[in-house]
Amino acid sequence: MIRHFIAGALAASVAFAAPAFAQQQKLRIGFITTMSGPQGVIGGYMRDSVELALDHLGRKVGGMDVEVIYGDDQTKPDVGVQVAEEMLKKHNVDFVAGIIWSNVMMAVAPVVNGAGKIMVGTNAGASPLAGNQCNELYFSTSWNNDQTPEAMGKFLQDSGVNDIYVMAPNYQAGKDMVAGLKRYYKGRIVEEVYTKLGQQDYQAEITQLRAKNPKAVFAFYPGGMGIQFLRQYEQAGLHGKLPLYTVYTVDEISIPAVKDAAVGIKEARFWSPDLKNPANEKYVNDYKKKYGKLPVFYGAQSYDGIMLIDSAVKATKGNVKDTKALVQAMRKANYPSIRGPFQFNNNHHPIQNFYLLDTVKLPSGDIEMRIQKTIFEKHKDSYHQDCKMKW
């Protein structure tokens, strides 16, 4: 029995080891996102954007043949870790990228970095990773969670809105968003309401909101929650009467599901499909051509992640075992980013602009987001001082 087992294990290890030697020249990137369940729609946009990036690069990254291994974290940190370990051990990936959720990232990043590989986060913006848990081998092509609500807070403060009602789901990111808002918004907060994570019906909260009669509303409802909230806000007759300012709520995924209920709602964001720069125009136009719909920021960041990896592999002439050189090259951010040229902060998070976006109905009847103004120029996140890394 035992002898059979050993023989089997030996055979298996030989079987796995052989292709690794044979295909040494191939670059392997593990891309983790959520592909199943209701949030799988986000993963679809990210995967499509990675594929578009590979198309643009002629199916080579940094001049090397490339294989992207996709993994589904099912929005669960433990599954994310499992997927990452499989990528590292079985597929021998050189980079891991992706990840939507902060809690998944907090679990996966240490595993990837611990194995000596570079992690490129293309959405999750967990604050510890920007602050005291920053790591040489961790890069972000998105943002830190607090930055977007900070931009919205700044905009509200500057435009003289001084009486708002705040709503967010009752979990860490919800609290972080409100903390970010308050860092720049100094007016009155009528009430802070935290709803159950994943709640479907907001009618009770909307009735309370109307009774308080605030001048404006700030809301953070990502994904499906946003779709339900926006629609019920409209059904309650508040849309168009009580100004709604949101973060991560109105986007190219929720607009087709709520249609007119999104028109006129203001968002803060670092990017928008109508952002004017050559890299972004190429990305947005080709995305529309290939997939027949507008991309969303989750996708833009993922496209950017692949381009960042490409620039580093190119700079090191394909010597991907030299992680030091790769990190040096990535720090330069020497690639055409969809946000325009930018620099990395000491904590490997972009120093970037944040814009005010309006949701407008075009003469064609399509509803799209349009940049109204720049709120922050070259905005740094609020945690980089806690990061000990210097370069």
Partner 1 sequence: MSWILVFEQLLNGVQLGVTLFLMAAGLTLVLGIMNLVNLAHGSLYMVGAYLTLAATQWTGNYFAGVALGLLGALVIGMLVEVITLRALYERDHLDQVLATFGLILFFNELVAILWGRASLYAQLPEWLRGHVELFAGSTYPVYRLSVIIVGLIVAVVLWYVVTRTRLGMLIRAGATNRTMVAALGVNIRLLYTVVFGFGAALAGLAGVMAGPIYSVQPGMGELILIQVFVVIVIGGIGSVRGALVGALIVGVVDTLGRAFLKPALSTMISPTAGEAAGPALASMLIYLLMAVVLALRPAGLFPARG
CB of 171 to partner 1, least distance (A): 10
Sign of the dihedral through C-alpha 181, 140, 251, 282: positive
The reply on whether position 13 binds partner 1 by CB under 8 A is no
Q: Give the residue, chosen from 2, 14, 15, 211, that forms a contact with partner 1 under the rule CB under 8 A.
A: 211
Q: Give the residue, chosen from 192, 281, 286, 386, that forms a contact with partner 1 under the rule CB under 8 A.
A: 192
Number of residues counted as binding partner 1 (CB under 8 A): 34
Q: Give the residue, chosen from 208, 328, 346, 372, that forms a contact with partner 1 under the rule CB under 8 A.
A: 208
Q: Give the residue, chosen from 129, 258, 279, 300, that forms a contact with partner 1 under the rule CB under 8 A.
A: 258
Q: Find the binding residues for partner 1 in span 213-242 (CB under 8 A).
A: 224, 227-228, 231-232, 235-237
Smaller CB separation from partner 1, 34 or 323: 34
* Sequence-distant contacts of 106-114: CB under 8 A, at least 24 apart: 106/77, 107/77, 107/78, 107/80, 107/81, 108/32, 108/73, 108/77, 108/80, 108/81, 108/84, 109/135, 109/138, 111/81, 111/84, 111/85, 112/84, 112/88, 112/137, 113/137, 113/138
Q: Give the residue, chosen from 259, 282, 331, 361, that forms a contact with partner 1 under the rule CB under 8 A.
A: 259
The reply on whether position 188 binds partner 1 by CB under 8 A is no
Amino acid at 374: T
CB of 254 to partner 1, least distance (A): 8
CB of 54 to partner 1, least distance (A): 22
390 burial (CB, 10 Å; 0-12 / 13-18 / 19+) is exposed
80 in the Ramachandran plot: left (φ > 0), alpha (ψ -120 to 50) or beta? alpha
CB of 203 to partner 1, least distance (A): 5
252: number of Cβ within 10 Å: 20
Strand (E) or helix (H) holding 106: helix 102-114
The reply on whether position 311 binds partner 1 by CB under 8 A is no
The reply on whether position 154 binds partner 1 by CB under 8 A is no
Question: Residue numbers of the site for partner 1 (CB under 8 A)?
Answer: 37-38, 40-41, 44, 170, 192-196, 198, 200-201, 203-205, 207-208, 211, 224, 227-228, 231-232, 235-237, 253-254, 256-259
